[in-house]
């Protein structure tokens, strides 16, 4: 047994010395701190749900490491991960911990702000709404806009349930009828007021503004001169 312990003793002593020296170097090395704004990645997002409310896209993370590591650390190397596996519709409170932060080896998470996220998820629904063309300007003198139509007349919008229930229509880009004496036809883009809603299918429609002469009023009959009797 003693022979086995003494075998390669010089090599073992060198290894022990190097390990001890490395420990003292690491233990005695000063540390530095740095703050980063890192993106929040929502992993395994349910396909039939959507995020509503004010989403937190980034959190501030305070990191500690040796000066050499801190100086070479880039924002792309750090991120916050939230796993949404099995999450259902409703409000959810997520607590971010050091384990939630992806960091390189040798880096320690000191603080996360905010450390608590509130996520509100709603079911994705669709709804058919009318297209509301918008006109700009006035036709030529003696003319008026007789009719405004769009093709298609309705479009389908999708988004979180509560937002879809409130939308009443989709609007078009303004179509100019300034000084027009004939029909105006334009292909324009569609939009909705709520940024969480989306147009399904093509976002373009054809708007037709029918321009017609203003109807002339029939002249009233001239009354007979006073004092003259009718025959």
* 88 lies in the same domain as 150: no
Query: pLDDT value at position 21?
Result: 54
Predicted TM-score of the model (pTM): 0.67
pLDDT tens, 4-57? 445 566 666 667 666 665 554 555 557 889 999 999 999 999 999 999 877 789
92 assigned to some structural domain: yes
Query: pLDDT value at position 1?
Result: 46
* 60 lies in the same domain as 87: yes
Query: pLDDT value at position 9?
Result: 63
Phi, psi of 177 (to 5 degrees): -115, 20
35 assigned to some structural domain: yes
147 assigned to some structural domain: yes
Query: pLDDT value at position 70?
Result: 87
* 137 lies in the same domain as 68: no
Nearest alpha carbon to residue 172 among 115, 134, 135: 134
CATH number of the domain residue 88 falls in: 2.170.120.30
Query: pLDDT value at position 108?
Result: 93
Which domain, by its residues, includes 74? 30-114
190 assigned to some structural domain: yes
Distance CA 182, CA 128 (A): 32
Paired sense of beta strands 204-213 and 143-151, if any: antiparallel
**Which stretch of DSSP H or E encloses residue 85?**
none
CATH number of the domain residue 170 falls in: 2.170.120.40
Query: pLDDT value at position 128?
Result: 97
Q: Averaged in consecutive runs of 10 residues, what is the pLDDT profile of the chain (231 residues)?
A: 53 65 54 91 93 87 91 88 93 94 93 94 96 96 96 96 95 96 96 94 96 81 63 50
């Amino acid at each position: 047994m003693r022979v086995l312990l003494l075998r390669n003793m010089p090599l073992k002593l060198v290894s022990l010395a190097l390990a001890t020296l490395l420990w003292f170097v690491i233990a005695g090395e000063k540390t530095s701190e740095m703050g980063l704004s890192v993106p929040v990645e929502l992993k395994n997002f349910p396909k039939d749900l959507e995020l509503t409310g004010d989403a937190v896209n980034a959190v501030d993370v305070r990191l500690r490491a040796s000066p050499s590591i801190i100086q070479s650390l880039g924002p792309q190397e750090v991120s916050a991960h939230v796993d949404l596996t099995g999450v259902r519709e409703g409000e959810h409170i997520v607590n971010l911990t050091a384990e939630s932060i992806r960091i390189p080896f040798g880096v320690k998470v000191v603080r996360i702000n905010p450390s608590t996220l509130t996520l509100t998820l709603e079911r994705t629904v669709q709804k058919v709404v009318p297209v509301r063309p918008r006109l700009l300007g006035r036709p030529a003198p003696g003319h008026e806009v007789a009719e405004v139509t769009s093709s298609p007349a309705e479009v389908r919008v999708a988004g979180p349930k509560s937002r879809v229930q409130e939308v009443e229509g989709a609007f078009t880009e303004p179509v100019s009828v300034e000084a027009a004496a004939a029909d105006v036809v334009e292909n324009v883009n569609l939009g909705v007021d709520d940024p969480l809603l989306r147009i399904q299918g093509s976002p373009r429609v054809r708007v037709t503004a029918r321009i017609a002469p203003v109807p002339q009023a029939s002249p009233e009959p001239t009354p007979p001169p006073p004092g003259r009797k009718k025959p």
